[in-house]
Every structure is written in C-alpha cells, then in structure tokens.
Amino acid sequence: MSRTKEPAKIEALYGAALSLVMKNGLTGLKMADVAKLAGMATGTIYLYFDKKEVLVNQLYTKLKKMELDYLLKDAAPDEGFFVRFKIIWTNYLMFNYMHPEIMIFFEQTYRSPILQEESMKTSDEFSQILGGILETARQQHIIVDCGVEVIFAQLMGAVHELVKYHIDQNITLTEAHQAQYFEMAWGSIRR
C-alpha cells in the first residue's frame, strides 16, 4: 500500500533544502541534512524524493512557476511596453529581495548538471515570455537594438547584485531605492 504524501511535509523539505543551499551551496546539499532541518527522520525524505536530483528538480520547477506568476501579476498584456516593463521589473526586484534564498537557489542550479530537461523547460517558458516582451519592444525601436539575451542578462544581473548589496549591507530596500534602480535599468535599455 502506498502512503499519501503530505503537502506540509513536502513544503518543509523544500524549505529546508532552500535554507541549506543558501548556507552550504548546492554541492553541499545532503538529503540527511534536509530531513534533519525539516524535523524528519532521514528515511522519511526518501518516501518523498528518492534522490537529491529529484528534490532539486521538483523544487526548481515549483519555484520558477511561482516566480513567473509573481512577475506577471498586475502586468496586463494590453498595457503599453513601458508600464508593463516597469511592473515586471519591479516585481522581479521585489521577488528576489523578499526571497534571496530562491535567487541563490536559481543561481546555484541553473547551470548545474543536476537540472533535468523537464525542469529547464520551466526556465525556458520564463525566458520566452519575458524575452518576447523585450523582443517586441526591440522591434518597435523602444529599447536598444541588441540581442534580447544580452538585455535580459544585463537586467537580471543588475537586480541580483542590487539585492545582494542590500542584504549584505543590511539596508532596507525602500520605494525610493526601487524608483532609482528602475530609472537606472530603464536608462540602460531605452532608445
């Protein structure tokens, strides 16, 4: 008889895995440590995830979907590019600021061989939606005429470094900071 997987236990294991990746990195992630931090016996984790790769891939997919939903909230497709871009960019900044452990997890896993093709599809969906918005603006001569991948990397990299700066320096990210950083981001891509 198969046991029903308890959603609360799955979430506890996900939370523990995120904390441990933030603390020790992806290579330092051990299933026994995840179980212990989640308050479970080591054997229990294997009822939910038969190996570390499964845990990491399922968590990655879940978090990418969560991130994309957050980024697109309040960004109506019929809005003009500037309004939509500002909403999405600000959402991206705030998502990473509110969830630095997720940002670090993505950085650790994205280029890791641990990610399977199915998980990468979730990441591709994220890139296709946001890249499509940027590509349309590029074609309409609203933003600089260079590869969307370059624009995407520049915008995301800057957000990550700003978030790390605020966390490392223990500086609260205020609305004034958000406005200033958005102006910097917009200034870096506008025509």
Single-letter amino acid code for the residue at 19: S
pLDDT in the model for residue 104: 94
pLDDT in the model for residue 3: 66
Helix, strand or coil, per DSSP, at residue 143:
strand
What pTM does this model have?
Answer: 0.92
Backbone angles phi, psi at 158, to 5 degrees: -65, -45
Query: What rounded mean pLDDT belongs to the chain?
Result: 94
For 15-19, 122-126, 153-157, which range has the lowest pLDDT when averaged over its residues? 122-126
List the domain boundaries for the chain.
1-50, 52-189
Topology of domain 52-189, CATH:
Tetracycline Repressor; domain 2 (1.10.357)
- C-alpha 61/C-alpha 121 separation (Å) is 9
- C-alpha 80/C-alpha 107 separation (Å) is 31
Average pLDDT over every residue of 6-26? 96
Q: How confident is the model at residue 126 (pLDDT cuts 50, 70, 90)?
A: confident
Average pLDDT over every residue of 168-179? 98
| Residues 6+ away with beta carbon under 8 Å from 127 | 152
- C-alpha 65/C-alpha 129 separation (Å) is 12
pLDDT in the model for residue 1: 45
Token duo for residue 189: 């891509």
pLDDT in the model for residue 124: 87
Average pLDDT over every residue of 68-92? 95
Say whether domain 1-50 belongs to CATH 3.40.50.2000. no
- Identical fold at 1-50 and 52-189? no
Average pLDDT over every residue of 111-139? 90
Above pLDDT 70, what percent of the chain? Answer: 98
